Structure formats: structure tokens, C-alpha cells
Structure 1
């Protein structure tokens, strides 16, 4: 008997059933299509020795068979098997198995031998250390002995050197005594045997000197060396300086100045304002006035001036030779001579006379410079 459906119970519909069937059919169709595609792409499995007969063309007309080309069948191609790549399985490391094994008797014996060898080597090392310490002690002892011997040798050497010096001093004393004895013997012989002494006398004609009124050229002889003194050039420079300062000298009575250096020499001078003489006043028309005059001048030499020795002065390229060449013959050469240069003065005087010059000699004491004043004396040339 059929049961009547109660209220509120939903009835089974045919639409939902049809939808389910349609979905199942669609899924089956998709699977069939996929399987067909895979089958079409799958390789053909052919046996290696199996030959595939080529298809022969069908001849429609028997008479045309003679004109048809012969078809040579192509060799069969080897089948290709395509395999799908498979993913490698992950490698899972396994724990190593530890196998405990009892060491053999041979290995134990070898270990025991090695331990004995180590003990022996340790004993050898200890003995060698003891030997090295003993050698070090002996070395120190020998070194001390060597140092003491060196000290003794040095002392002996110093003693021998001192004795050698004493011997040399004795030899020198003996030599001096011998020389003194020889001198005494020689003197005694001279006293006992008097000899005639010959003295050589040189006679020179001394010409009459005359005062120098013309211009003279000056040279300084010091330490047996000669140098040219530019007194004339310095006086010209002094005159120019006084002329330039005439207005200044009119205000002051006295002026101290210096000119040079010229060729290593300088001149210190004193200029004074002097009154006119009676004759000068008359010639001036009786008007008052004054004159400027040099009351004193003094020459100082630079330390750079070394001068020339006699042999150097006699050469043609020397300063002395060039100076007398520029002066010209017939002039007067005035030599200011210090006590240590009289021999040089004689030689230069003789040479100047041979060249035709007049020579004037003016000796100077040590420490006194070349100087001049209106109250001084003129040079006397020969």
C-alpha cells in the first residue's frame, strides 16, 4: 500500500536526476577523448626482425605495367619507445651501524712496542739534555779561561809597549848626545885650527833721491807679498763726494766720511772748514769766506786681499805686472813696506829700475796703516 506523503516533505524531482546523468555522460565523453588522444600519440611497437611489406600500387591497365617505375621499398625504421619521465624518489639517509670489534692480539703487541719505544726515546732525550748542560758548563769554564788569558796578553802588550817607548827615548837621548858631542868636537877643531873667514861685500851705487812732485802709484808690501793700493782712485771719489756735500759742509765745521771699497781698500777721511789766508782774502775782494780741505785720510785693507808673492808677481798675468803696465814707464812707484817684506822690496825695486820706473820706499812699523795729511812728508824717489 502506498503511503501518503505528509505535509512539509519535499518530493523527488526528475530535473535533478537528469542533471546528474548529463554530468556523468559529459565526464565519460571527456575521458574517452583523452584516451583517444593518448592512443594516437603512443609509439607503435614492432618486432625487431619483423619486416613490413610496402604497399604495392594497384595496376589498372596491364599494358601500362611496363612503363611504370620500379619502386624500391624503404628500409623499415626502428621503433622508438617513448617513456614518460618519472620523478626521482627522495633520498632518505640511514643511520650507520656501529660494529664493535675486539682488537686483535697483534695490534695490542704493536701498541705495546710503540709505548716501549716512546719510553726509550724519552730516556735518550733526558740523557742528551744532561750532556748539553755539562757541555754548557765546560764552555763557560773555557770562556772564562780565555778571557783571563786575553787580559794577561793585553797587560803584557802594554808593558812591552811601555818598555819600547823607553828604549826609543833612550835612543833619541843617545842620538842627541852624539850630535852634541860631534858639535863640541867640531868647535874644538875650529878653535884649535883657525881658518880664514872670507866675507863677501856687495857694492851698490845709491842714486840721489828727489821728491816726487808728479803723480805716484802706491803698492803695499806685507807678509812678503805685494798688492796694489788704489789711493789715486779713492782720492778722486773723495773729491766727488765732498763736492756733492758742499752745502752740508757750509753748516758744519768738520765731517768724517768713508769712500770705497775699491779693489779691497777703503779710505776714511776727515774734511774741515778752513779759514782763508790773507792772499786768498785779497784775491776774493776782501770778502769773508772759507775753504774746505782734507785734514787727514787713512787706508784700511780688506781681509780678502792676500797679495802676490815674488814669483807670482813676476809673471805677466799677475795683478802687479798688469798694474805697472797700465801705469807706463817714467812714473813713480811708491812701496809702503812693513818690516817683514824688505827682501821683497829689494827684488821689486831692482825689477822696476830695469823697466825704467822711479821707485820710492816708505817703511811702516807693524800695526800702522797707510795715511796722509797736509802736514805729512812727500815721497822721495830714486
Structure 2
């Protein structure tokens, strides 16, 4: 982008060029007028040379030749004048475009300054801390190299300590994420959403319990899973306001069964990649407020241990729910909550 000084020099040079061309055109016009005046005093071209004084015929022929040259120069001058006019028009258009671009650049610069001024104190502090961290890392690297240069004794190998939480479990009462290790894949189970759909679907079928003792339904598929459930009618004895016993009924969920409808999720060996679904699901939850429940079949225990260790490092509580081969994930009012460690 040109600076203001460069633009001023370019505009001044261009104006000087236009002044010079204009002066040349003016001189040519004066010459044409002088020659025209002289030519107007001459006899007509078709007059007989014999009537003219001796030697004057040659001068007359020379003047006619020069007159033709002047006419040619006049045509060229007019062409140059038209070219100058066109150049001036182009210059005016470029100047208009330059002014518009300069205004746009000024607006963009103002917007950038406004955005920069809107940076929060937290962002500035974060930037400062990042600089301090980089400087500390650089200093630590210098000290390490200096220590290596001064010491002839190799340091003892550093032992890595792995710390596991105390094996005490508590029921999961906060936010809970569910995953399943099945057929060599780690899949996310949208259990909360399926249970909400179960409640909505069950409300539409409760009236049928007036005629039959139990009703079944299915919701989904959602996220590769379908949820089947059974509602039952329970007859209960109640007391009215007078203390007399009356018969009543209530609706109860007997159980639900989670059925996979496709092999979803990521391969077990890629479950801890930054782009995996496992990592993406964890990113939206706070470790100190979230419990991760992992439903695992016997062939996935090794993968479970890797996931458990990673989750503990991130600060999550982990609940393991082992399942026998061929046994689906089920739940009921009489079941137990996930116990997290």
C-alpha cells in the first residue's frame, strides 16, 4: 500500500507531465496560426507561375509544401489533444477510485482499532501469562543445558508414579455420561435423551392401561440405539377422607432395554485421539461435576483401563458397569445407580 508521501510525489510528477504536453500543444497551435496567416496572403495555388516574379514560384511551392505539413501537424495536434483529454479522464477516474480505497482503508483501520480496544482484561492477562510461560520455558532450557555442560555424572532415571483414586465409590447424582465398549468400538450412548423420549411416549400410552395390565413401547433410534420399555398397572388400596378403604391404580415402569441398531462409535485404538467422539463428548462437561459411566463386555476390559486412566488424569469420576456377553443394557426402578470412583 502506498504512503501519503508516495502518492503526493506520483500525483506531482503526473501533473508536470500534463503541463509539459499542454505547453507543446500551445506552441504547435501558434506555429499553425502563423503559417496559416502567411499562407492566406499568397496567390491561389492554380495561378500561373509565369505571372510571378522570378524565384517567387519556387518559394510559393515551398510554402504550399509547408502548408500541407502544417495541416498534417494540426491533425496530429488534435489527436494528441484528444489523447490528453482521455488521459485526464482516466486520471480522474483513478483518483476517484484511489479516494474510495483510501476511505475504505481508513474504515477498516478504525474497525481494527475498535476491536483491539475491546479486548478484555482477561485476554490481555492470558497473553501476558503465555509470554511469561514461554520465557520460563526458555530459561529452564538454558539452565538444563548449562547443568548438562557442567556435570559429568548422568542423572538417575526419573521414576514415574501413577496415582489412582482410593477405591471408594459413591452413587452418581450429578451429570452423567454413558459410553459402551462393544465389538472393539467405543460408542457414546445418548441415554438421557432416550429416557426423555420414553417419558413423552409413555404419556401417550398410559390410557391403554385402563384396559390391559401392561403396555410396551419403543423410542428411537437415536445415536445408533433404540430403547424398548414396559409399563404396568399396579392396583393399590387407599383410604378416603372417611377412613374407608378404596381401590386405586398407579402406573409403574417395569424396565427398559437398550438395543444397538448399528456399530457406532470409534475404533478402540482411536478412542483417545483428539478428534474422536469420546474426546468431543467430554469437552462440553466439567470434570468435577461429571461422572462417566462405561458399560463394558469382557473383551473390552483392556480398553476400559486405558479410558479409566485417561479420565482420572482429566479429573473425571469413572463408574464401570461390566456386562456378560450377549446381555443388553437394561434399567428398572429397582436397579442401582452407577457407583463412581
TM tier, smaller:
0.3 to 0.5
Which structure features the higher share of strand residues?
2
Normalised to the residue count of structure 2, the TM-score between the two structures is 0.48
Normalised to the residue count of structure 1, the TM-score between the two structures is 0.43
Between structure 1 and structure 2, the one with the greater Rg is: 1
